[in-house]
């Protein structure tokens, strides 16, 4: 480093990147090649030009399915990981389905126990308002007057 470079302010040096561009992409210390695991465990890929990107990132499993189909996925289409490993984005592990089908796949075989149902009933009974002045009382009064006649 020359004496001139050493004495010049960093912000005025022409041989160094300075400002926002120095911190974007590869210049950022957190840059890991444009891929990261989100808080749900899915792999997200940097694709700023993708029409369905969110903050510049797209789910990798959706990109794989788009590559197989040769088109963008529609909003009602969903990808299911067959082995349920969210980071396993191989083409043979991804199944295209609708959002409702995907929910049904994950609900399959799931039932609530009687203890849980009783707990929820008890919990909901406590939620009813003591001073409720809704239609239900009027309906009861109408039934009583109709049965009297």
Residues 6+ apart with CB under 8 A from 45: 34, 35, 57, 58, 59, 60, 63
* pTM for the model: 0.58
What's the pLDDT at 16? Answer: 64
% of the chain exceeding 70 in pLDDT: 63
Task: Please state which architecture CATH assigns to domain 29-118.
Answer: Alpha-Beta Complex (3.90)
- Residue 48 neighbours by CB distance under 10 Å: 10
Ranges of each domain in the chain:
29-118
- For residue 109, what are its two tokens? 């075989």
What residue has token string 């049904």? Answer: 104
pLDDT in tens, 49-97: 999 999 999 999 999 999 999 999 998 999 999 998 999 999 999 999 9
8-30 pLDDT, tens digit per residue, is 665 666 666 666 666 666 667 67
CB-based contact 64:87 (threshold 8 Å): no
Residue 43 near residue 79, CB atoms below 8 Å: no
Tens-digit pLDDT profile for residues 111-133: 878 888 888 888 877 665 555 55
């Amino acid at each position: 480093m020359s004496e001139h470079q050493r004495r010049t302010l960093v912000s005025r040096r022409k041989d160094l990147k300075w400002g926002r561009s120095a911190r974007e992409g590869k210049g950022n210390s957190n840059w890991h090649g444009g891929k990261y695991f989100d808080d749900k465990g899915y792999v997200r890929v940097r694709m700023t030009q993708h029409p369905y990107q969110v903050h510049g990132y797209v789910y990798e499993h959706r990109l794989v399915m788009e590559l197989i189909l040769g088109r963008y996925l529609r909003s009602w289409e969903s990808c299911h990981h067959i082995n349920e490993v969210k980071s396993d984005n191989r083409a043979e592990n991804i199944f295209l389905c609708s959002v409702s089908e995907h929910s049904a796949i994950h609900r399959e075989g799931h039932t609530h126990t009687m203890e849980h149902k009783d707990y929820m009933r008890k919990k909901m009974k406590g939620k009813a308002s003591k001073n409720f002045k809704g239609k239900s009382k009027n309906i009861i009064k109408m039934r009583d007057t109709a049965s009297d006649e």
